């Protein structure tokens, strides 16, 4: 079995004594996000980053250590210091186990009650405040009502709108979209992250893409051939990468960005790969791949060191591709990985609905237009461990006295009825198309027209095509089985309806933002060298979208971004 690649996380501990500091982490994150993040939030994030590591160590997370016992670090993209804490290639899983065992302890002492195999379908508002949710019991299919003093959603991002992504297949945006429809603003939906280091698509039967960890860019070198004729032979399968001599290789990241080389941020590395492949230099049969090569690292460090550092990742690559990366360079290509946009929250992580909070990837977070590697967990854990527990108290201080609401109130009845009506509507379509076939169609539109390179024309086309997909979905979908039972196809259909809706919202936002910044690249707005060209005079704001009704264009609300401590400038990874 391949070992899953799971995420490491950043903190400004400066254990390496290489000049790291809270300010530097703050600065790298603001710069990495292309000056489109809220400055105060990022500073708070950098400040609490060190506490996260201490918290996780106390929970028993087995971070990698150096021989002397101190915690070890790796480098990740967009930083020139080594500040990434890791547990082999399984950090995320270990963090999850740490959090889960701490949670289990609370379950045991009776302070927490878990409801597993439930999915939130809607949020219930009473007098404008979030007072509970409607959830579906996934085993029985029954809808249930829950009352609360406040509601927190931590339901992740919307990357699966693209169908193929590195996200787990159950990741979805339905809870966030339910909040959006109830009035919570959705911020910066156009900002999605395309990770440069994924195993390329290899057919139309795939339902998922695999990430090769960014840590591989510490020692692996990315290249394509210098000569088009070599690329052609690679595409035809008559030449192998390892047989191309050194002088005929183009290490394009090292060439274009000498200061950061292979460790430029993800948006920059992804675009550079696309640029080379669009120019015909792709290295596999589809022409949509570049090499990630460890031959130099193996010569320099020896195979044992490479195996110790990356062995589990190499094994996983071999299991999937049947190629041995110790002998031939890996092939990689960018893929959808993370969403920087999400439900808008204020400094206290409250949405535009009183008493409704959003944390982790579900909120629009602190990453601006591009997230640096190992910063998602930093932000998610900061929100959950060190921000929300303090800020939610400000809300509860005068709310906790309010008697718990009865779930028989008309607001609960109406919310449950609306969910039920939607489910019945879905079940009654009784068309011909499976959920996945429509989802795939949606994914192609999103990737082709709202993907790595966007134009006014592509986005207008996307909006027209998405209307067609929406029509197909609501007129020709077929869901087998019944609503009142375990029905995975129904679950997927509910999620797909929301993916179509977020797809439209992303296209609106991308069309409105007539500049390039971070992961949002409008081809009309680039420098002569092909770098992102921002227009700070017009777009230095968070774009918040307010729901105005089904099928209607959403309303744009702007939150201006003011930088007091960082000088806003053009991102530079060259010198």
Ligand X SMILES: Cc1cc2nc3c(=O)[nH]c(=O)nc-3n(C[C@H](O)[C@H](O)[C@H](O)COP(=O)(O)OP(=O)(O)OC[C@H]3O[C@@H](n4cnc5c(N)ncnc54)[C@H](O)[C@@H]3O)c2cc1C
The residues annotated with a catalytic role in the active site are: 266
78-117: which residues touch ligand X (CB under 6 A)?
Answer: 92
Q: Which one of the spans 167-175, 228-236, 299-307, 521-529 is the region binding ligand X (CB under 6 A)?
A: 167-175
Identify which of residues 92 and 265 has a Cβ nearer to ligand X in the complex. Answer: 92
Within 10 A of 428 (CB to CB), how many other CB atoms are there?
9
Yes or no: say if 291 and 298 are a contact pair by the CB < 8 Å rule: no
Identify which of residues 250 and 498 has a Cβ nearer to ligand X in the complex. Answer: 498
Identify which of residues 498 and 504 has a Cβ nearer to ligand X in the complex. Answer: 498
Shortest distance (Å) from residue 381 CB to ligand X: 9
Within 10 A of 171 (CB to CB), how many other CB atoms are there?
17
Round to whole Å and give the CA distance between 381 and 393: 18
375 touches ligand X by CB under 6 A:
yes
Identify which of residues 367 and 465 has a Cβ nearer to ligand X in the complex. Answer: 367
Q: Which one of the spans 300-308, 324-332, 376-384, 385-393 is the region binding ligand X (CB under 6 A)?
A: 376-384
152 touches ligand X by CB under 6 A:
no
Sheet of strand 555-560: strand arrangement: 342-343, 186-187, 541-546, 555-560
CA angle 317, 321, 325 (to 5 degrees): 50
Round to whole Å and give the CA distance between 475 and 481: 18
Which of 338, 334, 330, 76 minimizes the C-alpha distance to 197?
334
Task: Return the residue of 185, 191, 338, 539 that touches ligand X, per CB under 6 A.
Answer: 338
203-232: which residues touch ligand X (CB under 6 A)?
Answer: 211
Which of 553, 522, 515 minimizes the C-alpha distance to 537?
515
352 touches ligand X by CB under 6 A:
no
- Residue at token pair 């290789």: 249
Identify which of residues 6 and 450 has a Cβ nearer to ligand X in the complex. Answer: 6
Helix (H, G, I), strand (E, B) or coil at 113: coil
Shortest distance (Å) from residue 352 CB to ligand X: 19
8 touches ligand X by CB under 6 A:
yes
Task: Return the residue of 79, 283, 362, 445 that touches ligand X, per CB under 6 A.
Answer: 362
Yes or no: say if 369 and 187 are a contact pair by the CB < 8 Å rule: no
138 touches ligand X by CB under 6 A:
no
377 touches ligand X by CB under 6 A:
yes
Measured from each CB, the residue nearest to ligand X is 360
172 touches ligand X by CB under 6 A:
yes
167 touches ligand X by CB under 6 A:
yes
What is the signed CA dihedral for 167, 269, 89, 23, rounded to 10 degrees? -100
Shortest distance (Å) from residue 119 CB to ligand X: 4
Cα 116 from chain centre: 24
Within 10 A of 401 (CB to CB), how many other CB atoms are there?
8
Provide the token pair at 424.
């019945």
171 touches ligand X by CB under 6 A:
yes
Task: Return the residue of 28, 267, 361, 501 that touches ligand X, per CB under 6 A.
Answer: 361
Q: Which one of the spans 244-252, 371-379, 483-491, 549-557 is the region binding ligand X (CB under 6 A)?
A: 371-379
Round to whole Å and give the CA distance between 83 and 479: 48
Identify which of residues 92 and 341 has a Cβ nearer to ligand X in the complex. Answer: 92
Round to whole Å and give the CA distance between 419 and 341: 25
What is the signed CA dihedral for 161, 163, 164, 166, rounded to 10 degrees? 50
Beta strands 118-126 and 84-85 are: unpaired
406-445: which residues touch ligand X (CB under 6 A)?
Answer: none
Identify which of residues 146 and 541 has a Cβ nearer to ligand X in the complex. Answer: 146
Task: Return the residue of 75, 166, 218, 352 that touches ligand X, per CB under 6 A.
Answer: 166
**Beta-bridge mates of residue 339:** 192
Contacts with ligand X, residue ranges (CB under 6 A) = 5, 7-9, 92, 119-120, 154-156, 166-167, 170-172, 174-175, 211, 338, 360-362, 373-377, 380
């Amino acid at each position: 079995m391949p070992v899953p690649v799971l995420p490491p996380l950043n903190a400004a501990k400066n254990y390496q004594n290489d000049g790291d500091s809270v300010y530097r982490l703050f600065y790298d994150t603001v710069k990495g996000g292309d000056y489109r993040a809220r400055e105060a939030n990022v500073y708070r994030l950098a400040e609490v980053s060190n506490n996260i590591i201490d918290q996780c160590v106390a929970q028993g997370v087995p971070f990698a250590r150096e021989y002397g016992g101190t915690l070890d670090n790796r480098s990740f993209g967009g930083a020139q210091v080594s500040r990434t804490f890791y547990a082999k290639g399984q950090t995320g899983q270990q963090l999850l186990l740490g959090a889960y065992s701490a949670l289990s302890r609370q379950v045991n002492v009776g302070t927490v009650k878990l409801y597993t195999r439930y999915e939130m379908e809607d949020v219930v508002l009473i007098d404008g405040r979030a007072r509970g949710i409607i959830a579906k019991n996934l085993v029985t299919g029954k809808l249930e009502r829950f009352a609360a003093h406040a509601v927190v959603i931590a339901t992740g991002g919307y990357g699966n709108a693209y169908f193929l992504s590195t996200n787990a297949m159950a990741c979805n945006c339905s809870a966030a979209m339910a909040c959006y429809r109830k009035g919570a603003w959705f911020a910066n939906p156009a900002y999605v992250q395309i990770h440069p280091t994924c195993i390329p698509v290899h057919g139309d039967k795939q339902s998922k893409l695999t990430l090769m960890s960014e840590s591989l860019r510490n020692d692996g070198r990315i290249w394509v051939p210098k000569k088009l004729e070599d690329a052609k032979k690679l595409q035809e399968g008559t030449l192998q990468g390892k047989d191309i001599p050194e002088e005929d290789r183009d290490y394009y990241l090292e060439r274009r960005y000498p200061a950061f080389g292979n460790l430029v941020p993800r948006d920059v590395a992804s675009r550079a790969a696309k640029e080379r492949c669009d120019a015909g230099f792709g290295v596999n049969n589809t022409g949509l791949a570049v090499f990630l090569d460890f031959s130099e690292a193996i010569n320099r460090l020896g195979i044992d060191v490479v195996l110790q550092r990356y062995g589990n990742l190499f094994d996983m690559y071999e299991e999937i591709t049947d190629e041995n990366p110790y002998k031939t360079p890996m092939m990689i290509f960018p893929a959808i990985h993370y969403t920087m946009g999400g439900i808008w929250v204020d400094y206290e992580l409250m949405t535009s609905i009183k008493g409704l909070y959003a944390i982790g990837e579900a909120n629009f977070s602190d990453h601006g237009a591009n997230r640096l590697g190992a910063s998602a967990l930093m932000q998610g854990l900061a929100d959950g461990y060190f921000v929300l527990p303090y800020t939610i108290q400000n809300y509860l201080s005068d709310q906790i006295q309010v008697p718990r609401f009865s779930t028989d109130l008309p607001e609960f009845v109406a919310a449950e009825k609306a969910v039920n009506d939607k489910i019945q509507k879905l079940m009654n379509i009784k068309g011909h198309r499976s959920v996945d076939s429509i989802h795939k169609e949606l994914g192609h539109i999103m990737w082709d027209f709202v993907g790595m390179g966007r134009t006014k024309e592509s986005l207008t086309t996307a909006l027209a095509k998405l209307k067609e997909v929406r029509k197909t979905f609501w007129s020709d979908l077929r869901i087998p089985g019944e609503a009142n039972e375990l029905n995975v196809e129904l679950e997927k259909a509910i999620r797909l309806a929301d993916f179509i809706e977020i797809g439209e919202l992303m296209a609106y936002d991308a069309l409105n933002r007539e500049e390039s910044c971070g992961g949002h690249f409008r081809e009309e707005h680039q420098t002569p060298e092909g770098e992102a060209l921002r227009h700070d005079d017009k777009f230095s704001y968070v774009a918040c979208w307010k729901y105005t009704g089904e099928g209607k264009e959403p309303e744009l609300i702007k939150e201006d971004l003011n930088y007091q401590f960082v000088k806003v400038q053009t991102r530079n990874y060259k010198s």
